[in-house]
Structure 1
Amino acid sequence: MTYDFSVYGTAYQPHPSGGRSTLAELGALSRHAEASGFDGLLTFYDHRNYDPWVMAAVMLQHTERLAPLVALQPYAAPPFSAAKAIHSLSELYGRRLDVNLIIGSSGGELAQVCDATPHDARYERAAEYMDVVARLLRTDEPLDHEGAHYRYRQLHLHSRLAEERLPRVFVAGSSEAGRAVALRVGDVSVTHPEPVTSFAPEFLQWRDKGLELGVRLGLLARTTDDEAWRAARAAYPVDRAAHIETVLKRGSESDWSRRMAHLATDGDLYDDVYWTGLYRSGKASAPLLVGSYGRVADYLGRYLSLGVRTVLLSQVHTREDFHHASQVLSLVRDPFRAA
């Protein structure tokens, strides 16, 4: 069976004190992603790293088709600024950008900007924020808006985009409140999935409500299982400090972080492929599928068979990473192809 699905990579998180040739590396990463058939690259938002809109502009400059998936943090900029950035980049480069609507943030960064918005109200704010952005991108008529968090009178932004240029809106989160926001203003609800057998019942429940779900995970595949596991354990060792941090995350405010932390502390390997070592090492929040190309492709195919149509891949940064990921993705798209 073949599947029609979108694949987004994850841009690394460069910061000004990193001492690396960030511009050259991001350009190379973007070109590798496009050449490997990826649809886009996710950029993050936090206080330490470069601005995600600037990162998106670099990606656009170095590619012809790739769609940046830009982190959209409501407290960082008003919705009309986000709409203007989307419109400007889309018009200048003649293609679509996608957005990843952020609902949460680290408590420390919220405190730095004196944002005391309660947890549940941040979901309401994010939905209203994206609603305003979407309206500004769909019309050139002045906008009147009277909401709980934003108020505008005859806001005339001249930011209308053609239908085919409108961004796909991703909403990260696995809680009921997060999924409700995705149903209201999003196109794809993204979660770090549990092992496929335990993931299926909840996924099907939300899919039946009309919500498109995407999964964020990592792939570490090689010609043989033994080769893949040697590479995985060498790349993601777990020390005592990382283990303690994982245990503490069982009390996280984030629903998916709590879920991953419980999986990671209850065991590290599920179904012989799904491994929590990437999360336990502190390198990323996502699970990792480990094994031969065929075994990992089969497991990824099980998620797709449930109706998953968007995959966000973590830890794919080098030419070698893209080669191995492409082997898996090619097998999923064409199971008769020899790896």
Structure 2
Amino acid sequence: MPVRVIGMIGVAPPAGDATVHVIKGGISPSYLAAFAQAHEAAGFDLVLVGYTASSAEGFLVAQYAAHHTGRLGFLIAHRPGFVAPTLAARKIATFDHLTGGRLALHVISGASDAEQHGDGDFAPKEERYRRAAEYLEVMKLAWTSEQRFDFAGEFYHVQGAHSDVRPLRKPHPPLFFGGSSEGALAMGAKHCDVFAAFGEPLAATAERIAEFRARAAAYGRTPAFNMSFRPILAATEGAAWDRARRILASIRKPGDPTGFGNARKPLAQSARRLLDFAAKGETHDERLWMPIAEATGAVGNTSCLVGTPEQVARALLEYYKLGVHSFLLRGFDPFEDAVDFGRELIPRLRVGAEELDGAKAA
């Protein structure tokens, strides 16, 4: 199947020599428009619009970026629990129509209790996952029910609910989720279309894919898989490793390298998994490099693939062979790396995936 490539846009120029996150800080409309246009020109299919308890509102960010692009899709991070699911269903369906079907949703329940408190949510994490599952159930009813419907659950209770607007894509835009806890996996297996994971070694990835496929099969579902990496590219392999070490040195400078004030403490089970791999070795499968994950407490996408564009494309294709047909790729120099990926990496990845599909079909 065709490979899907996802980037990530921010709302203001990043500060510092190596940018770990792009969603915090102020907002520059001109930068946002240019950043989205750069991803579109580079050949990305979608861009992630992230969420924190202090960052710019994601739907509005995506709407503005959509106005300044022609085909680029938007994977909007969304935390259930802050608005009613019936309202969210109408909001998402409206966005889907107004952008010609350029929306996907990344459902997150919040890795940090402290950050959730900033938005007034004091539910513990496992409860948030149960709430999210119920939230998605109500949204799907709003998207698909021809008649008014009632719902009575642990967290939501509606009577006579109905939506005049249905998603442009049927039955609804793609639903992504991430997480490694039991609550996250249970929610995703039942309700979501794409399991989004941070980059892990190949053997561990194959095991996770098999386990989650079995979970989803219990609900008659066949999930897709997305994996996130930070490619570090250069014209030669030696130059790529030199660049990687310079980025690591910048991140290790005094201060908060993550921008989230976590003091390098892992906030979620997915982060703990990355730190476990980092403890077992700096490099896995020749190109998967983990020291930046270790240096940041593995907050967010910090699994690196280091090498020339040809080498990194081949590394990504090893995951493609396992069934990972979607990749979120972003760099530590966010704008310039997006341009470089479009010139050097994405074409090689797409050609390689087509060749693998052709060989399989022959």
Same fold (TM over 0.5): yes
Over 6 Å off, 4+ runs: none
**Normalising by structure 1, what TM-score?**
0.87
Matched residue SS, 2:43: coil
Cα–Cα, structure 1 residues 320 and 120, in superposed 2: closer, same or farther, change >3 Å?
A: closer
Q: Which residue of 2 aligns with 1:229?
A: 241
Matched residue SS, 1:236: helix
Q: Which residue of 2 aligns with 1:97?
A: 103
Matched residue SS, 1:334: helix
On the 8 A contact 2:229/2:305 being kept in 1, the answer is: yes
Cα–Cα, structure 1 residues 116 and 27, in superposed 2: closer, same or farther, change >3 Å?
A: same
Q: Which residue of 1 aligns with 2:326?
A: 310
What letter corresponds to residue 270 of structure 2 in structure 1?
W
C-alpha deviation, 1:140, in angstroms: 5.0
Q: Which residue of 1 aligns with 2:155?
A: 149
User: Unpaired segments of 5 or more residues in structure 1?
Assistant: none
Counterpart-to-counterpart distance in 1, 2:152 and 2:109: 21
On the 8 A contact 1:142/1:155 being kept in 2, the answer is: yes
Pairs within 5 Å for 1:263-274: 263-274=277-288
Counterpart-to-counterpart distance in 1, 2:68 and 2:347: 24
Q: Which residue of 2 aligns with 1:323?
A: 340
Pairs within 5 Å for 1:258-297: 258-282=272-296, 284-297=300-313
Counterpart-to-counterpart distance in 1, 2:100 and 2:186: 32
- Which of 24, 32, 40 is the matching residue for 2:30? 24
Counterpart-to-counterpart distance in 2, 1:105 and 1:278: 19
Pairs within 5 Å for 1:209-228: 209=217, 210-228=222-240
Cα–Cα, structure 1 residues 42 and 222, in superposed 2: closer, same or farther, change >3 Å?
A: same
On the 8 A contact 2:53/2:115 being kept in 1, the answer is: yes
Mean CA deviation greater in 127-136 or 157-166: 157-166
Counterpart-to-counterpart distance in 1, 2:37 and 2:95: 18
Matched residue SS, 1:141: coil
- Which of 45, 56, 72 is the matching residue for 1:50? 56
C-alpha deviation, 1:83, in angstroms: 1.4
C-alpha deviation, 1:109, in angstroms: 2.5
On the 8 A contact 2:134/2:153 being kept in 1, the answer is: yes
- Which of 202, 225, 239 is the matching residue for 1:196? 202
C-alpha deviation, 1:325, in angstroms: 5.0
Summarize deviations over 1:164-217 as a string: whole Å, max 9, x none: 582100011123432221121110011113111332223223235433221111
Cα–Cα, structure 1 residues 37 and 267, in superposed 2: closer, same or farther, change >3 Å?
A: same
What letter corresponds to residue 38 of structure 1 in structure 2?
F
Cα–Cα, structure 1 residues 326 and 196, in superposed 2: closer, same or farther, change >3 Å?
A: farther
Matched residue SS, 1:289: strand
Cα–Cα, structure 1 residues 230 and 165, in superposed 2: closer, same or farther, change >3 Å?
A: farther
What letter corresponds to residue 6 of structure 1 in structure 2?
R
On the 8 A contact 1:171/1:189 being kept in 2, the answer is: yes
Counterpart-to-counterpart distance in 2, 1:163 and 1:17: 31
Find out whether 1:67 has 2:79 as its counterpart: no
On the 8 A contact 1:222/1:324 being kept in 2, the answer is: no
C-alpha deviation, 1:264, in angstroms: 2.7
C-alpha deviation, 1:113, in angstroms: 4.1
Cα–Cα, structure 1 residues 335 and 190, in superposed 2: closer, same or farther, change >3 Å?
A: closer
Summarize deviations over 1:34-82 as a string: whole Å, max 9, x none: 1222111111111211000111101210111111111111122221222
Matched residue SS, 1:161: coil
What letter corresponds to residue 317 of structure 2 in structure 1?
G
C-alpha deviation, 1:281, in angstroms: 4.1
Q: Which residue of 1 aligns with 2:3?
A: 5
Matched residue SS, 1:76: coil
Pairs within 5 Å for 1:105-124: 105-124=111-130
What letter corresponds to residue 10 of structure 1 in structure 2?
M
What letter corresponds to residue 217 of structure 1 in structure 2?
F
On the 8 A contact 2:287/2:312 being kept in 1, the answer is: yes
What letter corresponds to residue 274 of structure 2 in structure 1?
M
Counterpart-to-counterpart distance in 2, 1:326 and 1:181: 38
**Normalising by structure 2, what TM-score?**
0.82
On the 8 A contact 2:43/2:346 being kept in 1, the answer is: no
Matched residue SS, 2:66: helix
Counterpart-to-counterpart distance in 1, 2:124 and 2:243: 42
Summarize deviations over 1:245-276 as a string: whole Å, max 9, x none: 999535x4x11011112223443222331112
Matched residue SS, 2:123: coil
On the 8 A contact 1:13/1:44 being kept in 2, the answer is: no
Summarize deviations over 1:90-130 as a string: whole Å, max 9, x none: 22232231100012242222223443323222111111111
Q: Which residue of 1 aligns with 2:252?
A: 239
Mean CA deviation greater in 77-86 or 48-57: 77-86
Counterpart-to-counterpart distance in 2, 1:18 and 1:258: 26
